[in-house]
Amino acid sequence: MNNTLNEKIGMNNDFTEDEKAGIYKAIFSRRDVRSHFTTKPIDEKVLTRILNAAHHAPSVGFSQPWNFILIKEQETKKKIKESFESERIDSSKLLEGTKKSKYLSFKLEGILESPINICITYDPSKFGPFVIGRNSVPETGVYSVCCAVQNLWLAARSEGVGVGWVSILSNKILKQVLNLPEHVVPVAYLTLGYVTEFAKKPDLESAGWLPRLDLKDVVYYERWNQKENRGWITINELIKTNLDYA
């Protein structure tokens, strides 16, 4: 991290209004980027900051079960892209008619166009086998890796670097190509690069594939599916109003 950023973060526990705005800006303007990558290489100091942000994610029992495999060799990317092509065709078989042709028309990865690809993996053996908090719900290991992905995604956004998550891939091929040990699981395959623009809305929303749900439709009170509750009247009203960011 450069000095100015270090100084800005400082030791003060409170967020200033500008700092708060910065966090929300990163959250609301983060996009999954597939088609707006430029070839400009990512500054290695910037990439290091982004990776360090990912590495400071929460993790079950502080197990830090992630590894970040940095990829820029075109040969590797080509093999991954081949896997994408075959998985994409395979998954399209589940669809018919216009839905199928629409799906096949979407640009759903930027593997070759983005200067850097990163595979983020889950290693359950790290600090194991006993990890505090992972016994009852073993998936918490993978959840931790997803927290690292989100940190990376937001930090990248603040640095003007776009990130795309490509999951239309065979984990078997990923493991072979990247030489992963048997017990290590690829969790996220990400493509990173500077971009010409960050779209205002998710591509799938703009394309009319799915709408963003209203906040009021995803919040329940006290019990599953309870949309109103006497103890939650104010927030229930607030959530129904148009929020500042839409």
C-beta of 11 vs 246, nearer to ligand FMN: 246
Please give the residues from 68 up to 107 whose contact with ligand FMN meets the rule CB under 6 A. Answer: none
Name the DSSP class of 149: H
Q: Does 166 bind ligand FMN (CB under 6 A)?
A: yes
C-beta of 143 vs 232, nearer to ligand FMN: 143
Q: Which of 139, 203, 169 is nearest to 177 (CA)?
A: 169
Minimum CB separation of residue 123 from ligand FMN in Å reads 19
Tokens describing residue 8: 């800005």
β 161-165/66-71 pair status: unpaired
β 185-194/66-71 pair status: unpaired
Among 47, 51, 54, 109, binds ligand FMN (CB under 6 A): 109
Minimum CB separation of residue 87 from ligand FMN in Å reads 9
DSSP line for 27-68:
HHH--B-SS-B--PPPPHHHHHHHHHHHHTS--GGG---EEE
- Do the Cβ atoms of 231 and 221 come closer than 8 Å? yes
Q: Which amino acid is at 32?
A: D
Taking the C-alpha atoms of residue 163 and residue 37, their distance in angstroms, rounded to an integer, is: 9
C-beta of 38 vs 229, nearer to ligand FMN: 38
Per-residue mark of binding to ligand FMN, 203-242 (x: CB under 6 A): -x--------------------------------------
Block residue for tokens 């400009």: 40
Taking the C-alpha atoms of residue 197 and residue 180, their distance in angstroms, rounded to an integer, is: 34
Minimum CB separation of residue 136 from ligand FMN in Å reads 23
Distance set, CA 32 to CA 71, 100, 117, 162, 185 (Å)? 19, 21, 14, 7, 22
Residue with the closest Cβ to ligand FMN?
A: 202
How many of the chain's residues bind ligand FMN (CB under 6 A)? Answer: 11
Stretch that binds ligand FMN, among 26-34, 38-46, 49-57, 115-123 (CB under 6 A): 26-34
Among 165, 170, 219, 221, binds ligand FMN (CB under 6 A): 165
Stretch that binds ligand FMN, among 5-13, 39-47, 160-168, 231-239 (CB under 6 A): 160-168
Q: Does 31 bind ligand FMN (CB under 6 A)?
A: yes
Minimum CB separation of residue 188 from ligand FMN in Å reads 7
- Chain residues binding ligand FMN by CB under 6 A are 31-32, 34, 108-109, 165-168, 202, 204
